[in-house]
Structures are given as structure tokens and as C-alpha cells.
Amino acid sequence: MSAPNKNYDPVEVTALTAEEVERATQAALTAISSARTLDELKEARIAHAGDRAPLSLARAEIGALPPQARADAGRRVGAAVGRVKDAMAARQDQLERERDEQVLITERVDVTLPYDRQPAGARHPVSMIADKLSDVFVAMGYEVAEGPEVEAEWYNFDALNIPPDHPAREMQDTLFIAPPEGAPAGTRSGMVLRTHTSPVQVRSMLTRPLPLYVVSPGRAYRNEALDATHLPVFYQIEGLAVDEGLTMADLRGAIQAFVDALFGAGLRTRLRPDYFPFTEPSADVSMECHVCRGESAKPGAEPCRVCRSQGWIEIAGCGMVNPRVLVACGIDPDRYSGFAFGLGIERALMLSHGINEIRDTYDGDVRFSRAFGTEI
């Protein structure tokens, strides 16, 4: 602001003349109306309404006028500033509206467009359990062993001490591989779809150095009709240890490890005598019901659907490797002993997650797998 102008002559204060104020106003209004973006409008605001704008500078001069001239100049400049301010606000409004309309157009999402991404798959819970159990045993020093699904009868049966007249070999259980075309009538291929993962035990004993600790997850096949509790194709996991001095106490430890891994620590396990040709003695493994913890078996207690109020659930077969199997695999049964166990993975999955329909594990519906959490 300049010093008070004692010798005031309105004509000399050019910035305050009507023409000058009108010129500055028109320049501001033109800049405002020609601003095409909010940024341009901001520039116009700085140039025409900022501290250094002609009208602001003119207003600063008013104080220097003699009282009689102040009101007149004040009104003139005030009206001009008001017009510019109104025009600025109107243009701001208009440009904001235009910008919003533009955003609606450029950022429009058509939610009716067809979904063009491959839907995410999910790891199948059967593989997840197989991996989880394998990991538990690998952490204890076991190796993962695999074998073919089309298997020689000798590995699937004979070497496992399942004699030719054993009922398990009969047509209703075993899916036999047809003999080559044109072979004489009565020829057998000698091959089957393996009915369990136990032939991997034989393959491991024949090919791996002792001592031997292996875990074998894999698919097995049986000539079963598909229903709520049976699958013709299912998964098993098998453990085998052959070493000097192994006893059933070691077997019990291994079994407790897999029950802990599957159902969480703290469930008791129990072995009861059973029969398998490839183990002697053999046992079935039960675990304390993870739902009622055995409570349902007490008199007058609430019934439990999972264990059918037995308090215990059968989960696996096991035993000490039959010396005849060791011998078939070229292992000296006087020096070495072994233990083995095997369980059905779908059954373990059904028990652990309360699934009643085994076919759900087989249908391949990703909605079923997703519920188990791992999407890929």
C-alpha cells in the first residue's frame, strides 16, 4: 500500500478510475470464462483475484483516498471484486460438474461384461492332508516313496503275504488289467490296479538301503460301486519303518504322531488286535473321538454322531511287518524288524471335517475345495 496521498487527485490514481476497474474486471471475467479446466481456473484466480491482481492492488489504494472519494471508489471496486468472485464460483461449480461427469464416463465399469478371468482353483483337501501327513513324517526323518498305480500282482499281493486264494484277490475287490489282445484264452496279464499303497512298501524294501523309513501317499483302486461311503478310486497313506530293534512301542509313537498331526495333539490312541497278511501281529488303530472325547460312551450321555457313541473311531490299520514279507524282500528277519501302518485319506478327511458324503471328495467341485482354504 502506498503512503496516504494528501494531494489527492482522482484522475491520477489510475487504478481506481472507472475505466481501469472495468478493464480489470473484464480481463478477469474473460480469463474465468475461458478457463477450460480447474487448473486453468486456479491460474485465473491467482492472476485476477490473488494478492497481486489488479483489482486487489486497486482496492489497496482506496485507503489512500480522501474520505469523500473513498466511498465512491470503494463501491466501484467492491462491486467489481464481487462480480469476479461470483463468476469464479459459478465457473468452479461448472468445471467441477464437468469433471465429475467425465470421471463417470472414463471410469465406468460395466458390471454386466462377461467375466474374463480364469476362476481361481483350490488345492484339494485330500492332497493337503497327504502333504500334511507326509511333512510330519519327513520331519521325523522319513522319505516319501511312490510307486505305480498299475502294479504287478506280485507286489500288490504275493510279496505282501496275500496268498493266491485270499479273498482280497477276487474279482469283486480287484480291478485286473486285461491280458494283451490276441493272447490265448485263459492268459492273465499279471497286472492289477493296485488295491492299496502297500506294494510301495515292497518296492521300497527291495530298492532302498536299510534302515528304511518311508511314507507313501497315493491312489488305490477297488472294484466298488460309488456310494456315500465307497469310492472305486481313493487315497491312502502308508508308513513303513525297517530297522534293527524296532518294536510295537515305536509303532505306537508313529501312530500318535499322525493322529496328533491330523486331529491336534491330546487325543488318546488305542490298538486292538486285527489281521492283515502283511503284518504280524496286526492291529487296528482307534483314536479317542475328537468330537465328544469319549463322553458319549458314558451311560446316559448325549449321543455322538461322529463315533456313534462308541467314544473311539477306527482310523488305520497297522502292525509289525510280517517276517515273511521281509524275507520276500531279501531282508534278514533275525536282524531287522519293521512296523507299518496305512490309512484312507478320504476317511480321515471326512472324520476331521464332519463330511458325510464321500462323493464330495471326488466330484472335483472347486467350491468344496475352496472351503478348506488354499486357493491357487
The contact set with ligand DAH (CB under 6 A) reads 196, 198, 238, 276, 279, 317-319, 340-342
Dihedrals phi, psi of 336, to nearest 5 degrees: -115, 150
State the cell numbers at 6.
494528501
Instruction: Specify the amino acid at residue 173.
Output: D
Comparison of 174 and 279: residue with beta carbon closer to ligand DAH = 279
For residue 134, what are the contacts with CB-CB under 8 A and spacing of at least 6? 144, 215, 217, 237
From the CB of 161, what's the least distance to ligand DAH, in Å? 11
Comparison of 36 and 166: residue with beta carbon closer to ligand DAH = 166
Pairing of strands 212-221, 143-144: parallel
Comparison of 269 and 309: residue with beta carbon closer to ligand DAH = 269
Whether a cis peptide bond, with omega within 30° of 0, leads into 281 is yes
The residue of the chain with the least Cβ separation from ligand DAH equals 342
From the CB of 136, what's the least distance to ligand DAH, in Å? 17
188 to 222, 223, 232, 280: CA distances (angstroms): 18, 18, 22, 31
284 to 39, 106, 227, 310, 370: CA distances (angstroms): 80, 68, 24, 15, 33
From the CB of 353, what's the least distance to ligand DAH, in Å? 22
Pairing of strands 212-221, 269-276: unpaired
- Kindly write down the DSSP assignment for every residue of 175-218, as one continuous string: EEPPPPTTPPTT----EEE-SSSTHHHHHHHHHSPSSEEEEEEE
Comparison of 8 and 154: residue with beta carbon closer to ligand DAH = 154
Comparison of 277 and 294: residue with beta carbon closer to ligand DAH = 277
Dihedrals phi, psi of 273, to nearest 5 degrees: -55, 140
From the CB of 292, what's the least distance to ligand DAH, in Å? 26
> Hey, CA dihedral for 305, 276, 258, 148, is it positive or negative?
negative
Comparison of 238 and 288: residue with beta carbon closer to ligand DAH = 238
Comparison of 95 and 168: residue with beta carbon closer to ligand DAH = 168
Q: Is 46 helix (H, G, I), strand (E, B) or coil?
A: helix
Comparison of 21 and 315: residue with beta carbon closer to ligand DAH = 315
H or E stretch covering 351: helix 345-353
How far apart CA 133 and CA 124 sit, in angstroms, is: 14
How far apart CA 65 and CA 7 sit, in angstroms, is: 9
Q: Which of 276, 288, 290 is nearest to 339 (CA)?
A: 276
From the CB of 297, what's the least distance to ligand DAH, in Å? 25
From the CB of 321, what's the least distance to ligand DAH, in Å? 8
Q: Where are the alpha helices (DSSP H) in 112-180?
A: 125-139, 153-156
Comparison of 217 and 342: residue with beta carbon closer to ligand DAH = 342
Comparison of 25 and 279: residue with beta carbon closer to ligand DAH = 279
